[in-house]
A and B are shown apart, each in its own frame.
Chain A
Amino acid sequence: MIRDITLGQYYDADSVIHKLDPRVKLAFTIIYIVSLYVGNTVWTFLGAAAFLCVVIALTKVPVRFMLRGMKSILVLLIISALFNLFLVSGEPLIQWKFITITKEGVRMAGLMIVRLILLVMGTSLMTLTATPNELTDGLEKSLSFLKIFRIPVHAFGMMMNIALRFIPILIREVQQIMKAQEARGADFESGGLIKKAKAMVPLLIPLFVSAFRRANDLAQAMEARCYHGDEGRTKLHPLKYQKRDLIAYLILLLYLGAMIAQAVLIR
């Protein structure tokens, strides 16, 4: 059960998109979400879908990887479609007892489904093409302006990185503790959801104790290697914009401009 948790969903491929600076990918995600909400017409979604198709083709990520994410939002899709279908008022299409389906309802449900699918696919592109560490680096760098408000951006970035490094270690540890407790008769398999959840509680205490011990060790090891925050710190691979990143930004801006323009013009 626990083994199924993979770290992010990074798909390693040698593509133009993979090589882009993680900050570009963050910008892409935000701009793409915004562009899905600028208009409500078919043209908005056609435009967004076309753009997404081009980007997906460039990433070289197989389509089935993209579709895999769809499975998890299936329930959400159905629920939001049903709500729109039954609850939007307007010109009635079908009427059966107390259920009325309107023309507007069908349209809204359709648009909602398309929007959600595009949204999930668009945002998952970021995690498919950038490793969690790249994203942390990108976030740290793009948010570094917050330092003037005395927000410790570097410390948060470091915490994220360390958390990412320790996730597999702690998972292994949970498995060990589970085995040790199972060997002494603990039962994690049978019973309903609540019983299973309750069986997990005795795992937490040893896990926390060990996590604190590790944190203490790690803090000492970091100090022993001269860590003292980001003051005067250099980086092995600092984020630096290349020409291709600027071009990507330009394309993104053009895309956003085009989307806004069509939303304003076609009403």
Chain B
Amino acid sequence: MAIIEIQKLTHEYKEYDEENREREVVRALSDVNLNIEEGSFVVILGHNGSGKSTLAKHVNALLMPTEGAVYVCGKNTAEEADSWKIRKDAGMIFQNPDNQIIGNVVEEDVAFGPENVGVPQDELSERVAMALEKAGMEAFRMESPNRLSGGQKQRVAVAGILALKPKCILMDEPTAMLDPSGRREVLNTVHELNRKEGITVLLITHYMEEAVRADRVIVMDEGHPVMDGTPKEIFARVDELKEYHMTVPCVTELAYELKKAGVALPDGILTKDELADALLKAREDSKEQSGADKA
């Protein structure tokens, strides 16, 4: 069953000039149709201004559709009465780790969500412990968030969402402000949550490397999904990706260029190991070929 259904979604931002007159209408999303399957790990790629963040805010009922509709777990985001339930089912992680932590102590922050939905007091502490454990942050329960690294702060934010027991986690460029080790830390955490807990993950990013391990990759451009498929399928179309201003991972690009130059390689190579194996295999094959020719 699709956990998120997006039907003909259009979103327009209005820009006003100094005298409050409408100056321009910007179409951030136009006629988007998407279904996200429960338990899947979906990455949405796109350069700046492609509408990917706007899309995430729609799924979290932070924005209302100009046209069309968004359903999360069968609930329409346009129904104001349901917006708390939707936000509980589909928690959202934002880009800046500092600007989404509310508590002065890690455990206070993790408890913030469940406190808001009125989880009874004796259950709160359990939920905090559970969420911190799943995010691998139980050692930091009594720390001040100001003492944590960026990656740790994002994991606290993940724990804050987990404490609400969501079915789905939306992440809006959660790694854009982190260093490489922090990025790895956060991504490993969500991949594990997806695998072990079956939580649906919708990750929005402009780092293509982060899409490698996904089940499904959607590329957005000018408010529209333009490519949709498994990472292998998407990364095989290097020229097309470049058209949408995406930088392809080095390994994939190298493999692509080698293939163009005549090396017999399969499509959509994503990791170094894969490339190394494929190259070895290609060499063996060509040896066999030449051996056969000689004979």
Q: A residues engaging B (CB < 8 A)?
A: 133, 161-162, 164-165, 168-169, 214, 217-218, 220-228, 232-236, 238
Q: Are B164 and A169 closer than 8 Å at their CB atoms?
A: no
Q: B residues engaging A (CB < 8 A)?
A: 57, 60, 62, 84, 87-88, 91-92, 94, 96, 98-104, 107-108, 111-121, 124-125, 128, 145-146, 160-161, 164
Q: Are B113 and A226 closer than 8 Å at their CB atoms?
A: yes
Q: Are A236 and B115 closer than 8 Å at their CB atoms?
A: yes
What residue of chain A has the Cβ atom nearest to residue B160's Cβ?
Answer: A225
Q: Are A236 and B125 closer than 8 Å at their CB atoms?
A: yes
A/B interface sample: 11 pairs, CB < 8 A: A165-B102, A165-B103, A165-B104, A214-B99, A217-B94, A217-B99, A221-B94, A222-B112, A232-B117, A235-B124, A236-B111
Main secondary structure of the interface of B (DSSP, over half): helix
- Bound CA span A168–B147, Å: 11
- Bound CA span A168–B104, Å: 11
**Which listed residue, B92, B96, B121, touches A224 by the CB 8 Å rule?**
B92
Main secondary structure of the interface of A (DSSP, over half): helix
Q: Are A224 and B118 closer than 8 Å at their CB atoms?
A: no
**Which listed residue, A133, A161, A169, A224, touches B60 by the CB 8 Å rule?**
A224
Q: Are A220 and B113 closer than 8 Å at their CB atoms?
A: no
- Bound CA span A155–B113, Å: 16
What residue of chain B has the Cβ atom nearest to residue A165's Cβ?
Answer: B104
- Quick one: given A165-B103, A221-B99, A236-B115, are A226 and B62 in contact (CB under 8 Å)? no
Q: Are B87 and A224 closer than 8 Å at their CB atoms?
A: yes
For A225, the chain B residues whose CB sits under 8 A away are 87, 91, 102, 112-113, 116, 160-161, 164
Q: Are B146 and A168 closer than 8 Å at their CB atoms?
A: yes
For B164, the chain A residues whose CB sits under 8 A away are 225-226
- Bound CA span A18–B87, Å: 38
For A162, the chain B residues whose CB sits under 8 A away are 102
Q: Are A218 and B100 closer than 8 Å at their CB atoms?
A: yes
- Bound CA span A214–B84, Å: 23
For B108, the chain A residues whose CB sits under 8 A away are 236
For B92, the chain A residues whose CB sits under 8 A away are 221, 224
Q: Are A233 and B121 closer than 8 Å at their CB atoms?
A: no
For B104, the chain A residues whose CB sits under 8 A away are 133, 161, 164-165
- Bound CA span A220–B57, Å: 10
- Bound CA span A236–B160, Å: 13
What residue of chain A has the Cβ atom nearest to residue B122's Cβ?
Answer: A234
Shortest beta-carbon distance, A184 to chain B, in Å?
A: 24
Q: Are B87 and A223 closer than 8 Å at their CB atoms?
A: yes
Q: Are A224 and B91 closer than 8 Å at their CB atoms?
A: yes
- Bound CA span A133–B128, Å: 19
For A238, the chain B residues whose CB sits under 8 A away are 121
For A234, the chain B residues whose CB sits under 8 A away are 114-115, 118-121, 124
**Which listed residue, A169, A224, A233, A236, touches B62 by the CB 8 Å rule?**
A224
Q: Are B112 and A227 closer than 8 Å at their CB atoms?
A: yes
Residue of A217, A222, A223, A225 ringed by the most chain B CB atoms within 10 A: A225
What residue of chain A has the Cβ atom nearest to residue B90's Cβ?
Answer: A224
For A221, the chain B residues whose CB sits under 8 A away are 92, 94, 99-100, 102
Q: Are A165 and B87 closer than 8 Å at their CB atoms?
A: no
Shortest beta-carbon distance, B41 to chain A, in Å?
A: 20
* Top 8 A-B residue pairs of the complex, sorted by shortest distance between their CB atoms: A221-B100, A217-B99, A236-B111, A225-B113, A226-B116, A232-B118, A224-B92, A236-B124
For A222, the chain B residues whose CB sits under 8 A away are 102, 112
- Bound CA span A164–B107, Å: 16
- Bound CA span A169–B84, Å: 29
Shortest beta-carbon distance, B84 to chain A, in Å?
A: 5
- Bound CA span A169–B269, Å: 42
For A226, the chain B residues whose CB sits under 8 A away are 84, 87-88, 113, 116-117, 164
